Structure 1
Amino acid sequence: MTIVPLYAGLLALWFLALSFRVVQMRHVVSLGDGGNPELLRRIRGHGNFTEYVPFILLMLGFLEASHYPAWLLHALGATLVVARLLHGYALSFSLQFKFGRYWGTVLTFLLLIICGLLCIYQGIMAPVSPL
């Protein structure tokens, strides 16, 4: 595998940035969000990433292992990076970037649909090897 690790690495760096944004505010509240709206946004930006990215990367890994075309894997991986940058920036770095939150969500859901359908197709259409 050579394609999915590229996107996993890029996303790991963005995850680190989102994590750091939460840690920066831990001087205000040590556990939870303490009702602080800015800290809550940062926590949700970080948490939302962890809710979607691993599952989509897993599906991309299945698709790469199934020898889907490199152009398709790069398109899906790049879209995931863009989607999560938009969404993470909108939640963790900005109060008024509705464009990022909206399109980050739309692209993430689109990836869930496309990757999910491709994985279902692969599961149904893959030849079964005899025992």
Structure 2
Amino acid sequence: MTSLFYAGILGLMFVVLSINIVVSRRKLKIALGDDDLIIKRKIRAQGNFAEYTPFFLILLYMIEKNGTSFLTINILGVLFVIARIFHAYSLLKAEKYVDGKITANPIWRVLGMVTTFGCIISVSMIAIFTSFSQN
């Protein structure tokens, strides 16, 4: 089952993003809250991942179980993983801020979100069309 592989990869990515927050909280001695910009960015990288990934994985699994090709599942899985890497990289490393405002073009975040939306739209449309073709 191919979607299971992507669920595993994305699960590990979620743990890495979560540990990143814990390490920063300990280093900065911030147990609760997000008064630090670095902590806020890490929380949003993890939170955004947690908001979009479950929908994608559920739909990927469902279209796989309903006969979508191995190639299609892998293309969508790889693209989604890359999209989430781009987005996290943007928030954690690439973007520069002054007084909480971004000072450079957030190209990696834009690429990450556009690709994320494209993948979720794709699995959603495949699910809809598959449901009609089976009735």
In 2, Cα distance between equivalents of 1:58 and 1:32? 31
- Aligned mate of 1:117, from 120, 125, 128: 125
4+ residue runs over 3 A deviation:
none
Residues 110-119 or 89-98, more deviating = 89-98
**Structure 2: runs of 5 or more not aligned:** 97-104
Equivalent runs, 1:26-45 vs 2, <5 Å: 26-27=25-26, 28=28, 29-33=30-34, 35-45=35-45
Equivalent runs, 1:14-25 vs 2, <5 Å: 14-25=13-24
Identity %: 33
Q: Is the 8 A contact 1:21 1:92 kept in 2?
A: no
- RMSD of the TM alignment (CA)? 1.4
Equivalent runs, 1:66-81 vs 2, <5 Å: 66-81=66-81
**Structure 1: runs of 5 or more not aligned:** none
Amino acid at match of 1:31: L
TM-score (norm 1): 0.89
Structure 2 match to 1:92: 92
TM-score (norm 2): 0.87
Aligned residues: 125
2:122 is equivalent to residue 104 of structure 1? no
In 2, Cα distance between equivalents of 1:11 and 1:98? 23
